[in-house]
């Protein structure tokens, strides 16, 4: 469930970004901040919902899988293509 929360929040963030059509650097920044706000808000809501509804949750495992998924998705920005053509 921890991984699903991160995936759902990332999906919602991507939807916010795909709806925005910024035409300036400021517009890009505003869209990115809106998307990050939606992501953080959804994470907080879903974490609270799972902890409130599912009474038998193993909290360390739940939070550990959540944090691992968040780290993996944030590291995706640093992955580079290995087969890049040389200039």
How many other CB atoms sit within 10 Å of the CB of residue 10? 19
Q: Give pLDDT tens digits along the chain (87 positions).
A: 878 888 898 899 889 988 878 888 888 889 889 999 999 999 999 999 998 998 898 999 988 888 888 888 777 767 766 666 665
Longest dimension (CA), the chain: 57
Residue 82, SS3?
coil
Angle, helices 2-19 vs 59-75, to 10°: value is 40
pTM score:
0.75
pLDDT at 45: 95
Distance CA 69, CA 65 (A): 6
Return the pLDDT at 84. Answer: 61
Give residue 72's pLDDT. Answer: 85
Report whether 47 contacts 66 (CB < 8 A): yes
Domain residue spans in the chain?
Answer: 2-78
């Amino acid at each position: 469930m921890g991984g699903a929360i991160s995936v759902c929040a990332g999906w919602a963030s991507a939807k916010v970004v795909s709806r925005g059509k910024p035409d300036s650097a400021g517009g890009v920044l505003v869209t990115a901040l809106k998307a990050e706000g939606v992501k953080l808000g959804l994470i907080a809501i879903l974490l609270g919902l799972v902890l409130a509804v599912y009474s038998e949750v193993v909290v360390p495992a739940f939070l550990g899988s959540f944090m691992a998924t968040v780290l993996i998705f944030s590291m995706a920005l640093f992955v580079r293509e290995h087969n890049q053509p040389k200039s």
